[in-house]
Structure 1
Amino acid sequence: MKHYSAERKEAVLRKLAPPMNLTVPEVAEAEGISTATLYNWRKQARERGQVLPSRGSTPEGWSSEEKFRVVLETAPMTEAEFSAYCREKGLYPEQVEAWRQACMEANANAAEQDKRSRQERKAEHKRMKKLERELRRKDKALAETAALLTLSKKAEAIWGRNDEDD
């Protein structure tokens, strides 16, 4: 098993990162390193917080996690730092701003969905209560009908059939 220096790993990972955005198989072939090793390095780098896109070479093909990570990285930056970051990563500032806006809207939508969910649960609870009341009412009516039927059978057994009704 080969051991690679930290500098070599970082140099290889830079090829996977923006703006180069080479795919793992391309880098593996160019560097003579197995794809499994590169996937492992990329996974470890992501866990450390680096932005290493997995799909496509265009930023619009990045996963939402990668886009969110870019938004987090750029949030505290000044405009000059932000511009330099975008140039370094091969991004347009408008893209990052759109991602930031999408993140903010996602949280707003979550609150709205939560409110809607609470309203739906409340309506469902009311519906259940109404159905339970109706069920109790019907159970009482059924019990009353059964009692009347039993009484009429007992009365018939005691006094016989009432032929006056005919």
Structure 2
Amino acid sequence: MSFITITQKDQFLCLESLFMAEKISFDSIEDVLIFHVSEQQDLRVYIFLNKPIIYELKSEKFFNKILFSVFKIFNKNPLEIKTQLERNNLLTLLKLLENNLNNVLIPNDLDNSILWRTVDNGIQIPRTKLIYSKNNLSLTEVMRKHKILIDK
């Protein structure tokens, strides 16, 4: 069960949990990757940005303030989101990206993500799909850019 709600507010993609909201300007999204990670059909999503995420506390309750403070201490990179999503939230996210960005590639085989294989620049990359690249980079170029794929 996921505790994240994904919505759009004006020109922002919003990921809301019980204690905070993360607002991402659609025009700041550089690259989006999805990875197969588990048999329960959860997929990991990486969103890379060129402007920082805006973090907002959802309520001024003491417990929320503590969680928010701890999050800010341990969150080292406000230019990326790495999260695991259930199918419903993933579909919502993909639809919002498709409606607000150009050239979004939504795989039609999300249920078979364990079988994904991409051959790009002579490299076989399993269980990974490039959903969006602002600069029209290939999967391997995006993975190298964000240090997910490192050449030997």
TM-score band by shorter chain is under 0.3
Relative to the length of structure 2, the TM-score reads 0.27
Structure index of larger Rg: 1
Structure with the higher fraction of residues in helix conformation: 1
